[in-house]
Structures are given as C-alpha cells and as structure tokens.
Structure 1
Amino acid sequence: MIKEQAPGKLYIAGEYAVVEPGHSAIIVALNQFVTASIEPTTKKVGNIISEQFQNDILSWRRQGNKMIVDNRDNPYHYILSAISITEELASLLDKKLMTFNLYISSELDSKDGKKYGLGSSAAVTVATIKALAKFYQINLNKELLFKLAAIAHLDVQGNGSLGDIAASVYGGWIAYHSFNRDWLSSIRRTQDLETILKTTWPDLKIELLTPPSDLELLIGWTGSPASTSNLVDQVASTSYQESTHYTQFLRDSEICIQELITGFKNGDSVAVQHAINQNRILLKKLSAFSGVLIETPELLKLCEIASQFNGVSKSSGAGGGDCGIVLINKNEDISGLKESWSNNSITPLNLDVHDVTEIM
C-alpha cells in the first residue's frame, strides 16, 4: 500500500489580490493532512473511497488508457482530475496504466463533518497526485508537483490563485506570487503536458519564509462555512473590478505583502503585525466598494476579542465565514483569548504550522 499526505492551509494575507496574475500572498501550511493510499487490484474494476463522503465508493474501469467512471454524478471531481493529469503524464512517460483502489482520509474537517476552510480540495489534489506518481514510479520535484496539481485543480474550480496548492506542496510559511492562469489555459490548447511542465510559468514565484520567533499564530473558526470560489466570482462579477479603486487595492495589497515579507525576513514582529492590520483595512475597503461581505459579524467579533489581548487579526482566505487568524506575542494571555472566543461561539482550532522538512 502506497501512502502520501498533503497538509491543509490558511491564508495569512493577500487574499483577493492574489487571484490577479503577478500579485502575492502569504500562506501557511498546517499540521492537518489529507492522506491518499493506493494499491493495485487484479479486478477489472477499481474503487475510490473517501471518508469525507461517508466512505461512498466510486467505481471505475479501464477502457484502453481511459478511465471510465460508472457514477457520473459524484463528489470526487478533484480526485478524478488529479488522477487524469497524473495518468496523462504517465502515458507520456510510457508507463503502463493500471487499475487500482484509492483510499482518501482527511483531518481537515471535524469528526462530525464541519468544514473549517483549510483547503481540503487542494490537499486532496496534491495527496492524490503524490500517491499516484509513486504508484507509477514517476519522480516529481515540488515544482512539477505544484504544476500538475495546479492544472488539475484549475480544471475543476475554474478560478482562484492556486496558492492553497502551493501551501500543500511546499509546506510551512510561504510567499506566493501568482501566475497567469489565462496563459496556462491558452498553452494547454496548443502544447502537450510535458512541454507545459518544462516551461517557465509567467509570474510564478514561491518562497519559503520563517516567521518572527516571538509571534504565535492562533486560528479561530466562526462556525459558518464559506465558498471561496463563489466569493471570488462575486468580486469578479462587480463593476468594481474595472474601477480605479480596484487598481489601487491591487497596488496597495502588493506593497503590504512585500512589507510583510520583509518583516518575516528581518524577524521584525512589529512590522509583521502592522502589515497584517493594514491588510485587514484593505480588505474592508474592498468589501465596501464591491458590496461583497468579507468580514462577517462573527469574524469582526473574533478580531475585536484578539485586539483586547494585544493580538493583530483578520479574516483568512475569502472571508464570508470560516476562519480568522491572529498573530500575537507569545508573552500575551493566549488562554484568556481562547476562552473569550469560546464564550462568543468562536471555536479555537489547536493547529500548528507544518514542519516544511517533513514534506516530500
């Protein structure tokens, strides 16, 4: 049995701006994982089984080199896309395609099925590709893994920056500079996969960061799940995106993220906290001009409580619910903050940053 893992993620700063090519975000990978396990089978039918979907079994079979799914109305879109892109590469490398059983388990949601917004679709895409690549004896470095997973994920979701893919691939804290998805869509129509993987992707840059040693990351869940793709679509569909306000938002966001990266590199906790606060202000302006609710009343309460304990906080990811993050000095009263969250129906998530040395 081959087993591979990929961690979940949280956005720290740079949301919304990062969906535009050439813009940046700070993202952190967490020590909660999606695990993909794969084994060959001598039967003509293979199975995909996921705990996330109550162990529903998706059966499939081979028709030549094609994977034929028996149940077309299924919740396994990201997994199937990951299999498809990996087997496309395997075929180019003259690997014999086989029938297999694939098992998926996840730590990214609660035991009763509540979604925390930790990037499960990205993690399952990455974990599936890692497991299948090992199954077919394909050596992937992190850059190739990212590119494969980005293609697979974009085929399903159709939008987004793919920063969550980068976090699941590279782990730890990262600065992610988004590439041009229109370019990728265009080149896929004219070039084969092997050429695309060897090509330098315009604007793509992924850099590992080390946070200031005196800061601690806290995560609170507001109990209201949000759809990233829907919220990104809402902003994209507004006339605001074509306004000078939006251009200024992108410019200001990039300046903010670069200041944040510099703060990380200098171990300057004051600069990091200042940049986080500035990014929250920028997102509030985006919300006001676009009419899209990013910081919900629950997220506002999360942030207000954090400020009472000298923490700097903001929504994480697309907002609209899900998680908020806090960067706070390790000498502050963290237990009191968490207790106050709990008293206001905000769930503290006891998650640590994933050790980057443990990935691949």
Structure 2
Amino acid sequence: MMELTASAPGKLVLLGEYAVLEGAPALVLAVNRRAHVRIEVRSDGVCDVHAPDLGVSGARMTVEGGALRWRCDDVAAAKLSLVEHVWQGLVREGLAPEAGEGFSLHLDTSGFFHVDGASRAKLGLGSSAALTVALASALAAFAGHADVLSDRTQWLRRLLHMHGGWQGGRGSGVDVAASVAGGLIRYQLAGQAREPTFAPLPWPMTGVHCLFVWSGQSVSTNDFLQRLAQWRVSRAADYASHMRELGTLSEAGLDALGRQDAQSFVELTKAYASALQQFGHACGLEIYSPEQKKLADMASEAGVSYKPCGAGGDFGVVFADDPERLATFERAIVPAGMHVVPLGLDSDGVSSHMRLARNLPPSRILT
C-alpha cells in the first residue's frame, strides 16, 4: 500500500504587514508549527477526507471528469471548502489526481492550536496557508507531478492562485511564501505584475533578540482584509498615505537588518509599530487588542520594541538589541498573565515523502 505525506510550516510576519499588500518588503519567519497531510491509497475505489480539527470524519467525495464532487452533508462540505479550492486550482494547473483510484485524505492542523485543559484556541500562525501548501504538494505528488515542487518560486506562484481564491483575492501571499520557503525571508510583490519574490535571510538576526507573545484571543484575518478593502475604496487618499509611511519604514528596517545595525532595526520596528497603531485607528481595525496595548506600554517602559504580527490582535513580537533587557521584560509580563510562546525557526519549508509499504522507511520526494 502506498502512503504519501506532506507538511508545511506556519509563519509570523515580523515587519511589513499591510504595507506588503502595496509592494513593500516584509520580513517573515517560518515557525515550527506544521500542517500535515497524509494520503493513503484505497483498494475499494472510495475517496474520503478526515479532518479532526474541523470536526470532519470520513466525508465522502468522488472525482468526476477531474472535478471534485462531495457526497457528504452540506455542513461537512462547507468545512472542507479549502480542500475544494485547492483541488480546483490543481485542475486548472493540470496537476490534480485523475478519477479511478480511491484514497483517504487525512488533514492535521493540531499544531496551530493552543490547548489548556478542556479549552482550545486557534493560534494566528497561518494555518490555512500551511494547509494549502501541504495539501497541494501532497496531491500533486500523488498525481505523479512531484517535479513541480522542486522550483519553489514557481510553485509559490501557482499556489498563490489557489489560496488567494479562497481568501477572495485579498491576501499578499506572505504566509504561503513562508510555508513554501521556510526560514527567515524577505518577501515582496515586485513590479507592476506583482510577482511574488523571496530571498532567504540569516537566523538568528545578528544582534537582534526577539520574543513571541500571544494575546490569548483568535482573530479572523479574512474579516480584517475584507474591512480593509472597503476602507481602501472609501478613503483612497488616506489609505495611500498610511501605506507610504508603513512601506518606507519597512524598507528602512530591512536595510538596517542587512547592514547588521541591530540598534537601528529595533528603533525602526518601534516606529513601524507606532505607524501601525495610527493606521488601525484611522481605518477602524483593532490591530492592537487591549492586551497588546498593555504590552506595548510595558515594552516602552522597558526600553524594548513591541509590535503585532500580521493582521493584529493575536501574536506579537518583542525586539531588543540587549538580551538582558529582553529577559527582564519577559519576567515582567508573565505575572501579568501574558502568554510567551516558545516558537522556533522552521528551516525546511514544504516537504513531502512517499512510503511504499508500512514496514519500509520513507523515501524523500522534496526537502
């Protein structure tokens, strides 16, 4: 029996969120929380999906003329909308599995949840992007097209169409890029064609020390992007002004990082955080949750930099050019009920393996 697995990491945007939508560079870290996909070939011709994190078990589907058709109740099908978007994207690219062979599809995003006893909360680490990358990579390899995964830049561009369609075309693709590339990257939508480009950067950042803090609440990125799109249309001049300021600061921050000027980088992240807060006030988005506002005040008093990561309201990052100052800040926030999450770098990005039999070692398809 053949079994194929694929996985991809989540992400945190360390600098450049929102501005990346308008062509500014962003600093993005792939983190060691992964979405996993497993495909098992079935001899009975049945196709089904198991996604315990979505409350779905054994949702039947068929492949007819290349298209996916759900044979389960509407509630389960709605929960699996991302699977359908990825499948349709693979069909458009000529990479989808063909009809005739049964398989079970197992989706696991448990690493993207914080569990505290009986309570379970989703962490804003880009789980949908990681699952998109892992699922598309697994299905393409299962269909005999593992070679398309070898060129990561081209694979990223194909994947953006699949995930972007699921987000209504509002995302920048920064989370997909982190899941594909792994490591710390500079990401940008370059030129008039807005082609996604990325370049690896060294980790840890020379002279820069950081800490990741979770606010304890979940945030809908899609909701943020939809509301931002509406404000962009109604207040175009204001939107453009804020994006210019954020873009300039993000570019300067990445330049400082390239010069290994840790002090300037930390100061520029402070300036970016301030501009981000002003932008949130202007457009009505709660980029800073009440917990994050408290953290920002504490960071200012401690002489370190704090800013939200990504859309806001969920994860934040603390930067310092002095490790002792960072350690002092960490000791201060833990008694205040803040959640310090020990996230590490994921250097691999998307990976896929095939196992020909359960008693044989896996054979790597893509590293």
Give the TM-score normalised by the residue count of structure 1.
Answer: 0.85
Q: What aligned pairs does 1:310-321 form with structure 2 within 5 A after superposition?
A: 310-319=303-312, 321=313
Partners of 1:333 and 1:277 in 2: how far apart?
15
Partner residue in 2 for 1:196: none
Maintained 8 Å contact 2:8/2:350? no
After superposition, the Cα gap between the structure-2 partners of 1:6 and 1:101, relative to the gap in structure 1 and judged at 3 Å, is same
1:89 to partner: Cα distance: 3.0
Q: What aligned pairs does 1:114-153 form with structure 2 within 5 A after superposition?
A: 114-138=121-145, 139=147, 140=149, 141-153=151-163
Q: What aligned pairs does 1:153-232 form with structure 2 within 5 A after superposition?
A: 153-158=163-168, 159-178=170-189, 201-210=193-202, 212-232=205-225
Aligned partner letter, 1:204: P
Which consecutive aligned stretches of 4+ in structure 1 deviate over 4 angstroms post-superposition?
A: 94-97, 333-336, 356-359
1:240 to partner: Cα distance: 7.6
Q: Deviations over 1:213-262 (max 9, x none)?
A: 22222111111211111112222212686343322222222211111221
Partners of 1:239 and 1:95 in 2: how far apart?
42
In the alignment, structure 1 residue 280 sits paired with structure 2 residue 273: yes
Maintained 8 Å contact 1:60/1:67? yes
Aligned partner letter, 2:127: S
Aligned partner letter, 2:245: D
1:55 to partner: Cα distance: 4.9
Partner residue in 1 for 2:17: 15
In the alignment, structure 1 residue 346 sits paired with structure 2 residue 357: no
Tell me the secondary structure at the aligned position of residue 332 of structure 1.
helix
In the alignment, structure 1 residue 247 sits paired with structure 2 residue 240: yes
In the alignment, structure 1 residue 81 sits paired with structure 2 residue 85: yes
Partner residue in 2 for 1:337: 329
1:304 to partner: Cα distance: 2.6
Partner residue in 2 for 1:99: 102
After superposition, the Cα gap between the structure-2 partners of 1:84 and 1:116, relative to the gap in structure 1 and judged at 3 Å, is same
After superposition, the Cα gap between the structure-2 partners of 1:225 and 1:91, relative to the gap in structure 1 and judged at 3 Å, is closer
Partners of 1:167 and 1:278 in 2: how far apart?
24
Aligned partner letter, 1:146: L
Tell me the secondary structure at the aligned position of residue 313 of structure 1.
strand
In the alignment, structure 1 residue 42 sits paired with structure 2 residue 38: no
Aligned partner letter, 2:249: C
59-68 or 124-133, larger mean C-alpha shift: 59-68
Partners of 1:119 and 1:60 in 2: how far apart?
26
Tell me the secondary structure at the aligned position of residue 110 of structure 1.
strand
Partners of 1:170 and 1:63 in 2: how far apart?
33
Partners of 2:241 and 2:90 in 1: how far apart?
40
1:86 to partner: Cα distance: 2.3
237-246 or 78-87, larger mean C-alpha shift: 237-246
What is the number of residues matched between the two proteins?
338
Q: Any stretches of 5+ residues in structure 1 without a counterpart?
A: 184-200
Partner residue in 2 for 1:195: none
Partners of 2:95 and 2:179 in 1: how far apart?
25
1:179 to partner: Cα distance: 6.1
Aligned partner letter, 1:323: F
Tell me the secondary structure at the aligned position of residue 120 of structure 2.
coil
Q: What aligned pairs does 1:278-317 form with structure 2 within 5 A after superposition?
A: 278-317=271-310
Q: Any stretches of 5+ residues in structure 2 without a counterpart?
A: 352-366
Give the alignment's Cα RMSD to 1 decimal.
Answer: 2.5
Q: Deviations over 1:163-200 (max 9, x none)?
A: 111111111112221369xx9xxxxxxxxxxxxxxxxx
Partners of 1:249 and 1:168 in 2: how far apart?
28
Q: Deviations over 1:306-346 (max 9, x none)?
A: 34443211011111x21111122362254543343332222
Partners of 1:241 and 1:316 in 2: how far apart?
26
Give the TM-score normalised by the residue count of structure 2.
Answer: 0.84
Aligned partner letter, 1:6: A
Maintained 8 Å contact 2:65/2:99? no
